[in-house]
Structure 1
Amino acid sequence: MKSNLLRYVLLAFVIGQLTAQAQSVTSLLATRLKTLDSTLTVLHDRAMFNGVVLVAEQGNVTYAKALGTANIATNEPLNTSSAFNLASVSKQFMAMMIMQLQERGKLRYDEPVHTYLPDFPYEKITVRHLLNHTSGLPEYFDLAQKYLGPLDTLTNEGMLQLLHQYKPALVFQPGDRWEYCNTGYVLLGSIITKVGGMPIETFFDQHIVRPLKLKNTYIYYHKSRTTPRNRVFGFQRQNGKNVPNDLIRIDGVIGDGNVYASAEDLLVWDQALYTEKLIKASTLREAFTPVKLNSGATYPYGFGWMIEEGGNVIKHTGGWVGFRTLIIRYIDKKQTVIVLTSGTSAAGRVTEEILAGKAPVLAQTKLITNIRLIDGTGLAAKKAAVRLQNDRIWEVGELTAFPNEPVTNGSGMVLAPGFIDSHSHHDWGLKPDALPVISQGVTTIVVGQDGGGTPMDSLQARLKRQPVAVNVASYTGHAMVRQKVMGANGLYRTAKPDEVARMKTMLRTELHNGSLGLSTGLEYESAFFSNRDEVIQLAQVAADSNGRYISHIRSEDMMIDDAIDEIIQIGRITKMPVQISHIKIALRDQWGQSSRILAQLEQARSEGINITADCYPYDYWMSTLRVLFPKRDYTNAASAEFAVNQLFDPMQSVLVRFAANPSYAGKTIDDIAQLRHEKSAQTLMGLVAEASAFSRKNPDADGIEGIMGKSMDEPDVKNFLIWPHTVICSDGAYTGHPRGYGAFTRVLGRYVRDQKLMPLETAIYKMTGLSAEHLGLKNRGIIAPGYYADLVLLNPDTVQDNARIGDSSALSTGIEAVWVAGKLVYKEQKATGEQPGVLIRRE
C-alpha cells in the first residue's frame, strides 16, 4: 500500500514538473510572439514589412499577422489566405513531385537527365544532381539575357533548347561540389511534365493541391493561361513610392519558382509532411538527408530543403522580384514558421531571431528634409529629402517622416555627398575626431601619398586600435617599398633587378590587402634616383591588380614637360588610370603655361590614356627645402640663386618648422636672411646644410624642416581647378599649410561664391562623384539609394575657409553638419564624438 502511494506521489510530481515546464515554454513563446507582433508593426510603419507571418505548434496556429496590401494598384489588403509567389520555396514542391514519380516507378534519381529529356546535352548529370544542386550547371539567367530577344518569354522548353544549342561549360564536374542552381529545378519541372504525361500545373493540382485540399495554392507564370486566386502582386519601394516589381520575361519557366501559396496552405503542406498523404515516410526521408559529394564529404541540403542542427531544423528561403519568403520546420518541437512578404523586407530574419530568443536587430532610419540636394553627379540642385537606413542612403525624393523617425530640418541649405580628399596627409597624427577634415565637409581621406604611407595591415590595426570619425583609403607608396628593400641609406641610386623584383612582391601583397594602387613622389630624394623602368615595372603590377597610379611627378618646375611625359608613358604602357598629384607650375618663367599643359593632357586622353589630376586652391605649396634644388646640388650657389629667383619667393615663403633652430619657424626665408645678415640664396643653402646635419645627429627624427613656398600664379591655379578632369584635394595635414583645414571650403567660398569660377554643382562634383570615379571607390561620392550615407550639410552663402598662414588651424564656417556612414560626426563647429570611419579597400 505504501509503495503504491509512493508511486502515485512520484507520478504526480513528474506530471507537475512536466506541466510546469510546458507552462514555462508556453509563457516564453507567448512573450516572444508579443515581441514579434510589436516588431512587425514597427517594421510596417517604417515601410519595411508588407506580408504575412504565421507561427504554429503541433499544427495549431499560435500567431498570424497580415499587414499591408496585396495589390498596390487597388490597395486590396493582405490576409492569411493571400497567395504569394514562393520564389525558391517552390523548389520543395518540385522535389515532392519528382519523389512521387520515383515512388511510382516512373523515374530513378540516379538515371542521367537525358534519359527523360533527350535534348539535354550533358551525359553525366543525373536527376539526383538536379535535386541537390550538385550538377555544375550554370544559371540560366545569363543564357537568357545573352540569347533572348527583348520581347521573348523564356519557357522550360526554351531553356532546354538554349542548353542544347549553346552547351555552356559546366561550373564544375557533377557531384564535385554543392552550388545553388536554379537551372536544375527548371529542368526538374520539364521532367515532371514529360514523365508525368501532363502539364506540370495539372500534375501539381492533381497530386498535391487536391489531396491536401489546398485553397490558394497553384502554379502561375508569365503569360500563364490560368486565372490566379488571391494573387499577391510583387512590388518594391523606390524613393518613398511603391512601384511594381512582379513577373518578368524569364518567368515563363516553372520549377525554380512561380508556385503560389498562402500561409494557411503552407501550414497544411507542412503538416502533411508528417504523414504519408503524399509519399511514404521512407521516400520523404531522403529529402531531408544531406547530399554526399564525390569526395565523400556532405553538404546540408537534401531535395529542396536546407538541413540544420542535425535534421532538427528544415528550412528554405526564397527571393525573386518583389517577393521574399521563408518556411522553417522545427522538427523536435513540431513548430512551423512561415514568412511571406512582397516589397523589400527583413521580416524573415527578424522573425527567426525573435523566436530564437535573440534581440531583433532593426534597421534604423533617419530623415533629412527641406534641403537643396546637390547629388554629386554635376546635375543642378533640386528640392528633396533624403532618408538614411543604417549606414546607407535608402530613399531620395518627396518623403514624409515615419512615426517616431528622427528628422533633421536642413533649413533650405545644400545637402551634398561627403567630400573625398583624393590627396591627404591627415593620417600623420590623425586624431579620433579628425576635426581638420570633417570641419571642411570631408568624409574620406586618401593617404599613402607622394610615395610614402603605411602598410595596409598596419593601417587597419591602427584604426581598430583607435577608431576615427573619417573614412580612410590608401595607396601604397613607392618610396615606402623602396626603403624596405634598399634601406634608408641606399635610396640615392637606381634599383637593381632583384631589388625591383622584391618591391613588386611587396606591392602585390599590399594590393591584395586593398591598396588603391601605387603612389610615387618622384621629386623627393627617396624616389628621385629611380629610373623610368623601375617605376613602370611597379606600375604594371598595380595595373595587373586593377589598381591605379597617382604621382607627385618628377618635376613641377624646370623639367615639368619631361615629368608629364613620364606619367603619360606610364598610362600608355599599363593602360590603367594615372593621376597627377596637386598639379601646379612652380617655375616663374613658365607661369601662364597652364593652357599648354592641359592641352598636352587632353591630347593624351584623346589617345585613350586615362590621365587626370587633383589640385588644391592655393598659390603656395608646402614641402621640404631640398626640393628647391632640382639637380640635388645643395651647395651650388648658382642653383640657390636660381631657386630664389625662379622657384619660390623668399619674401612670401614661410619656414613652418625647423628642428635645427625652432626659432626660425613662422618666419619667411627673407626674414631669416636678414637675421643672419645674408642674401636669401646663401640662407637657403645654409638652412639645407643645418637641417642635414641635424638629421645625421638625430636619425630617428621626422619632419625636421618644412617650407610653404610661394611659387605659383593664381590664373594657372584657376585653370587647373576648372579642367573637367581635375578633382579637389587638400594635400594637407594637421599642421603647417592652411590647406589642411581649409582647402575644400576655400573652393566653395572664394572660387565658387565670390569669383564665380565654376557652378556650385560642378565644384561639389569635383569633390565627390568625380573623385570617387578617379579613385575607383564604389558606392561613394553620390547621393543615391544604396550609396554610403557620407553627407555634408552646408550653407553656400556663408561657407568660407578661415585658416591662414600664422593661424593655419582655424576652423571653416558654413559647414553645418557632417555624417559618416549615417552617423552625425560634426555639428555647430564641433565634433560629436562619433567614430564610424572605416578603412576603405579597393574592390
Structure 2
Amino acid sequence: MRTKWFLALFCGPLSISSGYAQYTPVRLKTLDSALTVMHQRASFSGAVLVAENGKILYNKALGIADPTTQEPLKTTSAFNLASVSKQFVAMMVMMLKEKGKLRFDEKVQKYLPDFPYPNISIRHLLTHTGGLPEYFDLALKYNNTLDTLTNDKLLQLLKIHRPKVHFEPGEKWEYNNTGYVMLASIIEKAAGMPVEDFFRQQITKPLGMNDTYMYSLRMKESPANRVYGYQRKNGRNMPNDLMRLDGVLGDGNAYSSAEDLLKWDRALYARPLVSAATWQEAITPVKLTNGKTYPYGFAWFIENDGKLLSHTGSWVGFFNEIIRNVEKKQTIIILSNSSDATVRKVVKDVLAGKVPNLPKTELISNVILIDGTGAAAQKTAVRLKNDRIWEVADLTPFPGEAVTDGRGMTLAPGFIDSHSHHFGGLEEHPEGIAALNQGITTIVTGQDGGSTPMDTIQHFFKKRPVAINVATYTGHSTLRAKVMGAKSLYRTAKPGEVEKMKVLLRDEMKKGSLGLATGLEYESAFFSNRDEVLELAKVAAEFGGRYMSHIRSEDINFDEALEEIIEIGKQTKMPVQVSHIKIAKRDQWGQAPEVLAKLQKARAEGVNITADCYPYDFWNSTLRVLFPNRDYTNLKSAELAVTQLCDPEKSVVVRFAPNTQYAGKTLSQIAAVRRETPAQTLMALIALAAEFEEKNPEYNGGIEAIMGKSMDEPDVADFLRWPHTNICSDGAWRGHPRGHGTFTRILGSYVRDKKIMPLETAIHKMTGLTAEHLGLTDRGIAQPGYYADLVLFDPETVKDNANIQNPTALSSGIEKVWVNGEVVYQSQKTTGKLPGVFIKRTN
C-alpha cells in the first residue's frame, strides 16, 4: 500500500463476480455513452477493451497520451500498468522455476545475500505474506530529492536500516510492493540478465506484444508510445507521472496497451509459458501458517474457486484494472492516465447491468470568491464534482453541465456554527431553514454540557435525513446525569462516579465525538469541582479531542472562570475554547481588552485557547442563571441581578409556562403588573417556575426563559475582532433572534455598516477559522478537495431581519446555499434536498 504521501499502487480486492452473464449490445452502447460523458467532463482519459472468447466486443481510447503535446490516445498506446505489472513478474518467476533456476520455497537470501530477513521465501514475496514494510517511507526518509531509487539502492536501504517486519512470514496477508521489487532483482540473478530483457525475451516477443515493455527512470530513453500520467488542476492538465521512486522495477513500471493485454489474456488460456500445474499454483489462494487461506495467488486476486481473476493498479496518474472471467472467457481491460479511478467502477457497473454513477458536476460562474482562508477576494469560477469542490479558476462549462451564474455576487464556504442548539429542531424541521437562511451549512451541538449520544445521532441520520451537517461534543452534564442521576447533580461527584463518567466519555470519543463540552454556569454542572472537569478533559485529550466551555461565570467570578479553562488547556495540552465569550456584569463593561490580553498571554505560554462569540448584546437563558450563588430567595442577590447582571427594562421574558401572559414582556413590565420591584419579581418568577415544574413533571418543553440585556456593544465588537475568535450563534430554531440571524447580522451590520472588520476576515471567522478550532480538516475552505458546502450572497443587501418580536424572520441577501454539492436553499426557500451528514472526529 502506498503511504499517506502517495496514491495506492493497489486498490484492494473488489467483488466483481456478479452480473457478467452477457455483454449485450445495449450494455456496450451504454458503456460507450458513459465513457463519452466522462471524457467530456474531464473524468476519463484512457482505453477500455471488452472481449469474449478472444473476440473484441468493445475497444476504444479517449483522451490524451501526453499533456504537453496533446497527442491523442490510441488503443495501442502503452500505459504504465502500476500493480498490474506484478502478474508479469510472477510469471517470470514461474518460468524460472520451471527452468530449474529457482524454487518457490527457497529463501530470498540465497539470491540476494544482502537481504536482511533470513526467514522470508520467494513464495512469501509472491503472495504478500512476508510482512515486509513498504519501501516508500524508507526511501523518502533516507534518500534526498535528487536521488532516484533503484532496485539495488532499495536492497542496500533494507540492509543498512533493517526496518522491522510487520509480522512473521506466513502469518498474515498484507499487500506489499517491496516484495515485488525484490522479486525483480531475484529474476535478474537467476536469469543472468536485466529483468526488462528477460521480460522481452520470454514474454513480450513470443506473444507478439509489441507495445509492451518495462521502463524506469534509470533508462536513458523513453519509448515513443509511452503514455504519460496527468491530473486536471483548476482547468489545466498538469503532469502526474514518474517520480524519483520510479527507478525501480517489479512492483510497477511495466507498460502495455489494451490490445496487448488481450494477447496476454489469451496466452494464459493456452498456457504456452508454464505448465498447467505451475499455473494452478498461481491461481490457488495462499495458505497461512494458521491454516486459513486468503484469496490471492501469484499476483492475482481470486474469486469463485479460481473462475474469476483480477488485479488493479494505481500509481501517479494511472488507474488500471484487468478482470478475467475464466469460466465464461470474458475479459475487461481498463487503462486510464488522468488520475481518476471512477472509470473502473463505471465500467463494471454498466457491464453488470447496473445504472452507472457518473460524476455529477456543476459550474458556479461569475463570482467573487472569498475562500475562508483570510486571503483577498478573487473573481473566478468554481466547479463542483459530486460532493466536493473540484476546480477554482476561469472555467468554461462542459457540454450539458449545470451552471449557476453568480452575477458578480460573493461565494464563500458554508458557514460553520461552532455553538448551536438547532439540532433539537431538526426532527420537526429537517430542512433546517433557521440555519440555511443565514448561510450555515454545518452546526455543532452538544454545547453547554448537554448532548445527544453518538449512537442516537447516528440512528437519527439513518431514519431522518436533514439538509445540514451536524457534529457534536459530548456534554459534561449529560455524563453527570447518566452516572449520578438527574436529581443528584447539586453536589460534587464522587471519585467512583468520575471514573464511570470517564468510561462513558471514552466510548463517545471512540465513536467520533469532537471532545468535551461543559456548561459550568448551569446547575447541572455548577457543583462540579475543577478536578472532576480536568479528569474528563484529559480523556478527551487522549483521543486528540477538544474542550469547549460555557465557563463557570461570565460575571462576578469571571476572572476565576477564565483561569480554570486556561489551566485545563495548560495541563491537558489540548485546544480549549470559551463559548460565546462575553462580559455580563455592568461594572466590568469596557474590560474586553484586559480579558483578551489575559487570553493572549496564555497563548504565548503555549495554551491553545480560543473563543467564539455572537453579535448581540443580550443573551437567552433561564431566569436562574441570574443568581451566580444559586440563592434564589436572597433579595440582595436578586437586586445584584437586576442592577449588575441584566437591565430589567430591556430584558424580555420570552417563555413562562406558569403564566403565558408574561411572555413577551420585559422584567420591569411584569414587575409593574405585579406591583413589585424587578428584584422581587425575579424571585417570584423563579419560585412560580419551580412550583410549576413540581406539579407538572410530564411537561414537555422549556418552562421559563429570558433574553437578558447584559453586555456592552464595544465589548462585543472587541471580542469579535480578536484574531482567535470565530463566529457562533448559540441559537435554536426558535427563541433568540440569533437562531435565524447571527451570520447575516455579522455580514450586514458589523462588516458593511459598522466596518469593524473586512469581509474576508469575517468570512474566515465563520468558516476556515471555525473549522480549525473544531478540528475539521475538509470543510470551511472553498478550494479543490474540500466538501462543497457553499453560500452565495450579495454583500450589498445581506441583512438579518430576525428580532425579539419576530425571531424567525428570514434573512435577506442569501441567494443560494449548497450542502455537500446539493442546492438546499435559494430565493428564501428550501429545495427539499436533504444531503446533510453526521461529521465525526477523524484524528
Q: TM-score range by the shorter chain?
A: over 0.9
| Alignment partners' CA distance in 2, 1:758 and 1:79 | 56
Offset of residue 344 of structure 1: 2.7
Contact 1:216 1:229 in 2 (8 A): no
Residues 1:367 and 2:363 are matched in the alignment: yes
| Alignment partners' CA distance in 1, 2:547 and 2:834 | 29
Letter in 1 for 2:770: S
Of the three residues 234, 246, 249, the one matched with 1:239 is 234
Deviation per residue, 1:701-750 (Å, 9 max, x gap): 34111110001000000000010000000000122111011000000000
Residues 1:841 and 2:840 are matched in the alignment: yes
Offset of residue 27 of structure 1: 8.1
What is the RMSD of the two structures over their aligned residues, measured on CA atoms? Answer: 1.1
Match of 2:77 in 1: 82
What pairs with 1:382-531 in structure 2 (closer than 5 Å)? 382-430=378-426, 431-531=429-529
Residues 1:168 and 2:163 are matched in the alignment: yes
Deviation per residue, 1:452-493 (Å, 9 max, x gap): 121111122222222111111111110011011111111011
* Greater displacement, 441-450 / 508-517: 508-517
What pairs with 1:617-628 in structure 2 (closer than 5 Å)? 617-628=615-626
| Alignment partners' CA distance in 2, 1:515 and 1:461 | 15
Compared CA separation, residues 710 and 26, structure 1 to 2 (3 A): closer
What pairs with 1:377-776 in structure 2 (closer than 5 Å)? 377-430=373-426, 431-701=429-699, 702-776=701-775
Contact 1:83 1:229 in 2 (8 A): no
Offset of residue 309 of structure 1: 2.0
Letter in 2 for 1:710: K
In structure 1, the residue corresponding to 2:648 is in which secondary structure? coil
Compared CA separation, residues 473 and 227, structure 1 to 2 (3 A): closer
What pairs with 1:250-289 in structure 2 (closer than 5 Å)? 250-289=245-284
| Alignment partners' CA distance in 2, 1:631 and 1:810 | 37
Contact 1:500 1:534 in 2 (8 A): yes
Contact 1:211 1:277 in 2 (8 A): no
Offset of residue 28 of structure 1: 5.2
Offset of residue 196 of structure 1: 1.1
| Alignment partners' CA distance in 1, 2:339 and 2:791 | 28
Match of 2:51 in 1: 56
Deviation per residue, 1:529-586 (Å, 9 max, x gap): 0000000000101001111100000000000000000000000111100000000000
| Alignment partners' CA distance in 1, 2:252 and 2:287 | 25
| Alignment partners' CA distance in 2, 1:591 and 1:831 | 41
| Alignment partners' CA distance in 2, 1:792 and 1:778 | 19
Residues 1:304 and 2:299 are matched in the alignment: yes
Larger radius of gyration: 1
Letter in 1 for 2:764: Y
| Alignment partners' CA distance in 1, 2:773 and 2:526 | 25
Contact 1:183 1:256 in 2 (8 A): yes
| Alignment partners' CA distance in 1, 2:72 and 2:513 | 51
| Alignment partners' CA distance in 1, 2:804 and 2:353 | 60
Letter in 1 for 2:740: Y
Contact 2:23 2:351 in 1 (8 A): no
Residues 1:209 and 2:207 are matched in the alignment: no
In structure 2, the residue corresponding to 1:527 is in which secondary structure? helix
Offset of residue 513 of structure 1: 1.6
Letter in 2 for 1:611: I
In structure 2, the residue corresponding to 1:277 is in which secondary structure? coil
Of the three residues 181, 189, 192, the one matched with 2:187 is 192
| Alignment partners' CA distance in 2, 1:74 and 1:629 | 75
| Alignment partners' CA distance in 2, 1:56 and 1:673 | 87
Offset of residue 207 of structure 1: 1.0
Deviation per residue, 1:391-442 (Å, 9 max, x gap): 1111111111111011000000011000000000111222111111000000
Offset of residue 233 of structure 1: 1.0
| Alignment partners' CA distance in 1, 2:409 and 2:677 | 52
Contact 2:150 2:218 in 1 (8 A): no
| Alignment partners' CA distance in 2, 1:120 and 1:765 | 53
What pairs with 1:797-808 in structure 2 (closer than 5 Å)? 797-808=796-807
Compared CA separation, residues 653 and 553, structure 1 to 2 (3 A): same
In structure 1, the residue corresponding to 2:74 is in which secondary structure? coil
Offset of residue 321 of structure 1: 0.6
Deviation per residue, 1:341-367 (Å, 9 max, x gap): 110332222111111222211111111
| Alignment partners' CA distance in 2, 1:83 and 1:458 | 52
Which 4+ runs in 1 deviate beyond 6 A?
none
* Greater displacement, 103-112 / 442-451: 103-112
| Alignment partners' CA distance in 2, 1:455 and 1:72 | 51
In structure 1, the residue corresponding to 2:425 is in which secondary structure? coil
Number of residue equivalences:
819
Deviation per residue, 1:19-67 (Å, 9 max, x gap): xxxxxx9985222111111111111111111111111122121211011
In structure 2, the residue corresponding to 1:792 is in which secondary structure? strand
Letter in 1 for 2:82: A
In structure 2, the residue corresponding to 1:64 is in which secondary structure? strand
Letter in 2 for 1:721: L
Compared CA separation, residues 696 and 208, structure 1 to 2 (3 A): same
Contact 2:229 2:339 in 1 (8 A): no
Letter in 1 for 2:706: I
Match of 1:815 in 2: 814
Deviation per residue, 1:152-191 (Å, 9 max, x gap): 1000001111111111111111111111101110010111
Match of 1:7 in 2: none
* Greater displacement, 415-424 / 634-643: 634-643
| Alignment partners' CA distance in 1, 2:432 and 2:333 | 47
Match of 2:11 in 1: none
In structure 2, the residue corresponding to 1:310 is in which secondary structure? coil
| Alignment partners' CA distance in 1, 2:248 and 2:825 | 53
Offset of residue 527 of structure 1: 0.2
Match of 2:3 in 1: none
| Alignment partners' CA distance in 2, 1:282 and 1:585 | 82
In structure 2, the residue corresponding to 1:108 is in which secondary structure? coil
Gaps of 5+ in 1: 1-24
